[in-house]
Structure 1
Amino acid sequence: MDPELEAFVPLFPQADFADPVGSRKLFAELSASVPVPDTSGMEVEDLAAPATASANAQDAPNAPDVPVRVYRPHGARAAVVWLHGGGHVMGDVRSEHPWATRLAATSGAVVLSVGYRLSPENPFPAALDDAYAVLTWAAANAARLGVDPARIAVAGHSAGGGIAAALALRARDEAGPAIRFQLLNQPQLDDRQETWSQRNFTDTPWVDRDKVAASWRHYLGGRPAGPYAAPARAEDLTGLPPAYIATAELCPNRDEDIDYALRLLRAGVSVELHQWPGTFHGSQAIVSADVSQRQNAELGAVLRRALAD
């Protein structure tokens, strides 16, 4: 493990998802300890995307509008629909504020941080429907956002990375909004947990095999998983947008992410894959470490390059 990260491991709480409410409180406290970058170079606005923007709105007529915190750097002409991590159980636009701010500052793009509904109270497909509603709304309101509708990316971390991958699949299948690029950071893609890293990483910091399994139980709610819930189950990956996939060496998701990158490549999709040595799932939150600084900077740089004119 990277020595700068290892020094912080004893400070990470041994949390699981047995108590979702308690987990959310702990997650919010951890997020509050992360430094927030300067926002003077951007406008920050809280909006709500109508649930009716989702093509599946007829299946959920009582779905609430989706909270969205919009970060608009001066001169931005591209947009990123950003899905936070938290194992499908934790996180919202407030806890994601440090990361969404950093992503907007480093990418130069408008970042739409999505406050999707959480499990187990709202299992699949609620989070995906919320994300799709925001994607559809962003494309339809590109002029209002000041962005080019042909320069929209989907991106996410951990569970949010899995939702971003599912968004790309669904948009392709339903001829939905054009997605220029997908950025998947340590994504959660496969509920089967059959890879070497899923079977062997039983005591890795912050996220281990059991915590991933609990996340899937909450998200699926007892239903079988299809490709929109677990994108690794998709048989056809052709026609998807170019991708950047980042993995952490000591992360249960590592091998399924690498496998997904290879399958995308074999399907003719351009992929950049970065395996970060010495890191663990979510360790980029330790922003004082050199490797974390490089990880966080690279996310913005990749999006800036992918969304350029």
Structure 2
Amino acid sequence: MNSQRDGLDQEVRAPLELLLQSLPGGINAITDLAERRRVDAKMVAEMTQEIVAAQTCSTEDLMVERSSDGGLVPVRIYRPENYVKGSAAIFFIHGGGMTLGNLDYEHGLAVKLCEELGILVVSTGYRKAPEHPHPAQLEDCYSSLSWMASNATTLGFDPRRLAVYGGSAGGNLALSTSLKARDMKYPQIAYTMAPYPMVDHRNALPSTFEVTEIGVWDRRTNIEAWSWFLGHQEPDGYAAPLHAVSLTGLPPTFIDVGTHDLFRDEDIALVQRLIAAGVPTELHVYPGAYHAAELFAPEAALSQKIWTTRLRALREALKL
């Protein structure tokens, strides 16, 4: 019995244990990145197929021009049934440790946000490390966000009610994209929701030493991901949002994290900095939750609580 998993909520622990029986150590224990990506993509494809069969929202895939060099960034537009034009919208950034994923990676989350809230969602792809280190990811996300905002009339949403959403590595990019929008004074972001964001490259806080064998996002994986993401450069405040020179002027921000998540202490530290900077900030720390637990066990009571809280916060922030 693994002592690090003993304190987990039992409902969310059960599917994790099943996964680890078939894939010891989890997906990130596969040391060869190409093989890790292959196995991960296969699992994602199976899940996405089921979601597509059940979804009621429509989707449209496009390519957006990257502002830095004219390259192309993939985006997917999600439109709910009976969409009322002029409502709010969400700019969505998937996770994956900066190394995994595409537009299908968290398709189910984008569908959930679109259908539960009844609003437009635009999901962006972005280049991956280690082939493309920082700031490639931020360049892609900010280009997509700028395209979305500048096409608000065509897309049919109110640009004054635009939120940015991303979890884990996507949470890093949600925060850094909001920082970039602040610095560029465009577009105006109404709200940032960043579940368990990856914000500190140092791996020096207590939770990074506590979470080494959970099997989802452990210390070795985090050190590896930051090394690939930074590509032998020192991080700026966009790469590691916890260390941004100033957080003043960011939009109201929501962060949640589990007690058994490696990112726990850096996320709490970030919230403390946000509050000190005068940013309206909401934090939830969930006892017994590991990294992305609600994705592994969506029917668990804890997962339902996590999602109810997020959706409530989005409805309030976007006046839905």
The two structures have a TM-score, normalised by structure 1, of: 0.92
Q: 1: distance between equivalents of 2:293 and 2:159?
A: 33
| Alignment check: 8 A CA contact 1:205 1:281 kept | no
Q: 1: distance between equivalents of 2:226 and 2:265?
A: 17
Query: Residue by residue, what CA displacement relative to the aligned partner does 1:183-207 show, whole Å, maximum 9, x if unpaired?
Result: 0111000101111101221112311
SS of corresponding position for 2:212 = coil
- Equivalent pairs counted in the alignment come to 300
- Give the corresponding residue for 1:64: 71
SS of corresponding position for 2:159 = coil
Q: 2: distance between equivalents of 1:296 and 1:118?
A: 28
- Give the corresponding residue for 2:255: 245
- Structure 2 gap ranges (5+): 1-7
Determine which of 31, 55, 63 is the counterpart of 1:39: 55
SS of corresponding position for 1:25 = helix
CA-CA distance at 1:300 after TM superposition? 2.9
Q: 2: distance between equivalents of 1:293 and 1:33?
A: 19
- Structure 1 gap ranges (5+): none
CA-CA distance at 1:105 after TM superposition? 1.5
Query: Residue by residue, what CA displacement relative to the aligned partner does 1:273-292 show, whole Å, maximum 9, x if unpaired?
Result: 11111110021112122212
Q: 2: distance between equivalents of 1:132 and 1:146?
A: 20
- Give the corresponding residue for 1:28: 41
Provide the aligned C-alpha RMSD in A.
1.7
The two structures have a TM-score, normalised by structure 2, of: 0.89
| Alignment check: 8 A CA contact 1:80 1:153 kept | yes
Determine which of 282, 303, 308 is the counterpart of 2:314: 303
SS of corresponding position for 1:134 = helix
Q: 2: distance between equivalents of 1:8 and 1:273?
A: 26
Instruction: Say yes or no: does 1:3 pair with 2:15.
Output: no
Alignment map for 1:164-183 (pairs within 5 Å): 164-183=174-193
SS of corresponding position for 2:285 = strand
Q: 2: distance between equivalents of 1:4 and 1:94?
A: 26
Identity of aligned residues (%): 37
Determine which of 32, 50, 53 is the counterpart of 1:19: 32
Q: Report the residue type matching 1:27 in the other structure.
A: D
- Give the corresponding residue for 1:150: 160
Out of 256-265 and 283-292, give the one that drifted further: 283-292
- Give the corresponding residue for 2:225: 215
Q: Report which of the two has the higher share of helix.
A: 2
| Alignment check: 8 A CA contact 1:96 1:113 kept | no
Out of 63-72 and 137-146, give the one that drifted further: 63-72
| Alignment check: 8 A CA contact 1:106 1:297 kept | no
- Give the corresponding residue for 2:239: 229
